[in-house]
Amino acid sequence: MVDKPGAVNLDSYKINVEGQLIDVNIFTSIEGFSHYYISIQNITTSTNIVLEKIKEEFISKINVGKIDFTSEGLAQSVKDAFRKEIFFLIKRYFPGADKKTSDLLINQLIRQNIGLGDIEILLSDKNLEEVVVNSSKDPIWVYHKKWGWLKTNIIIQTEEKIRHYATMIGRDVGKEITVLKPLMDAHLMSGDRVNATLNPISSSGNTITIRKFAVKPWTITDFIKAGTLNYPAAAIIWLAVQNELSMLITGGTGSGKTSMLNVVCSFIPINQRVISIEDTRELTLPRDLHWVPLETRLPNPEGKGEITMLDLVVNSLRMRPDRIIMGEIRRKREAEVLFEAMHTGHSVYGTLHANNVKETIIRLTNPPIDIPKTLISSLSLIVVQNRNRRTGFRRTLQIAEILENGDTNILMQYDVRRDDLVSKNESSAMIDTLNLYTGLSKKNIEDDINEKVGILKRLVKNNIVDVNEVGSIFRTYYNKKQKENRKV
């Protein structure tokens, strides 16, 4: 609990950072700001002076600046060596320190000199989605899953330190950020996505934005339990994926597009080859899927070796894919190849920045993507995700089918007052497509959706949230269906 005049305590819990428990307190101040306050054991000025001596003594033995951190195993071995060496130095300078104090000082030195300082404490909190450094003049901000944007009590003291962290992150993955290249997209060894900018491009100071990688990928069970979508909507999406209908997931930044894409791909049958294409690996599909993940690559400092989204899309078509998953569609040529793939019988799933169904069609049919409207009919469904910035809740806003002329028919739409997806229009295109290729009648489809709703309810009732366990349930379902079809 935080004891400050006018403060209203909202939440408190502990996070474990390498065996050290750190208190987290979330509260609103009298000024109306929401705060994220971590309590770190105070280290006095005199202790910091000694720690600085220890650091210099260690660096004089091992040139940390020249160590290659591009291998996760090597980076960990360097930390282990650092920890072992510092232990003896700590005992020399602090002979009376017990194990708890020694561990505190060792972890502090590692974080501040090999790691990302107190940022690493924030990255250890599983409740956070984003960690944002705006400048050395502003405290670090975080985006909390429950409480939204919060101002922390952590400040990086100098612009040079922020730049050092950005440089170190880039070096670890073979990228660089310099005055000539002041923008950088990278990722941490943990998979967390990082964007960094340097002054004067960011005029207030150097910035680092870290979007945390989900340790546990979202599943359909999580989505239903969280109210993101309901059983009928989930069953419709499952039906579409099972029958190889292509789908686009759209929404604004942070609306849950990639999470929904991960959920959607869990419905893919096990006996099909899946190729995914991403800038930074974010998808985590069930392990028993026949899945080949591909990632783009930026050019080296000499401008060579770049592998683009288009390169990977074109190459994926030579890999005999049954399903192609694209992290995000941005450019015309990428979209043209993907829509051509749909026309030649491949199932395609991807994401796009657009706030609703109408805006999705506008984005697809205008520059920079500029796909002819006649091509859009090869896409079967659009699923729109939305995040309420006031409450922080993520919801499926709309589910729409694409008609033969490229227009849309909204099947389900979110009702804000009921906090639920409700039916809006009956399906025509999707039912006709399923009838043409599978022979399913409207009654068959309704029965199938009801059966799927029953399975989804059992998933939620039994709290099956692991992506591999969820995938196993779906595989069992598909095997049962195959056996039934053989008997027929």
Rg (CA), the chain: 26
In b/e form, how buried is each residue of 451-464, taking b as 16+ CB within 10 angstroms?
ebbebbeebbeeee
End-to-end Cα, the chain, rounded Å: 65
- Helix H or strand E segment including 333: helix 332-343
Full DSSP string of 86-145: HHHHHHHH-TT--HHHHHHHHHHHHHHHTS-TTHHHHHT-TTEEEEEE--TTS--EEEET
What are the backbone dihedrals phi and psi of residue 336, each rounded to the nearest 5 degrees, phi first? Answer: -60, -45
Q: Domain-by-domain residue ranges, the chain?
A: 8-40+118-211, 45-113, 220-487
> So what's the pLDDT on residue 68?
47
d(CA 55, CA 82): 10
Burial-class residue 418 by CB neighbours within 10 Å (0-12, 13-18, 19+): exposed
CATH 3.40.50.300 fits 220-487, yes or no: yes
pTM above 0.85, yes or no: no
> So what's the pLDDT on residue 69?
45
Are the C-beta atoms of residues 289 and 240 closer than 8 Å to each other? Answer: no
d(CA 260, CA 215): 15
> So what's the pLDDT on residue 12?
95
Q: What is the pLDDT along the chain (488 residues), one digit of tens a residue?
A: 666 777 899 999 999 887 778 899 999 988 778 999 998 655 666 676 777 777 777 766 655 554 444 444 445 666 676 777 778 778 787 887 777 777 777 777 777 777 888 899 999 999 999 999 999 999 999 999 889 899 999 999 999 999 999 999 998 787 889 999 999 988 888 888 899 999 999 999 999 999 998 778 899 999 999 999 999 999 999 999 999 999 999 999 889 999 999 999 999 998 899 999 998 788 999 998 999 999 988 777 777 889 999 999 999 999 999 999 998 898 898 999 999 899 888 999 999 999 999 999 999 999 999 999 888 999 999 999 999 877 778 999 999 999 999 999 999 999 999 999 999 999 999 999 999 999 999 999 999 999 999 999 999 999 999 999 999 999 999 998 888 776 65
> So what's the pLDDT on residue 78?
63
Question: Could you give the C-alpha distances from 134 to 59, 154, 170, 195, 199, in angstroms and in order?
Answer: 30, 12, 18, 12, 11
For domain 8-40+118-211, give the CATH number: 3.30.450.370
> So what's the pLDDT on residue 392?
78
> So what's the pLDDT on residue 323?
96
List of residues 6+ apart from 422 with CB closer than 8 A:
412, 413, 414, 415
User: Of 111, 89, 127, 92, which Cα lies nearest the Cα of 43?
Assistant: 111
d(CA 119, CA 344): 48
Residue 35: CB atoms within 10 A of its CB come to: 20
d(CA 245, CA 379): 7
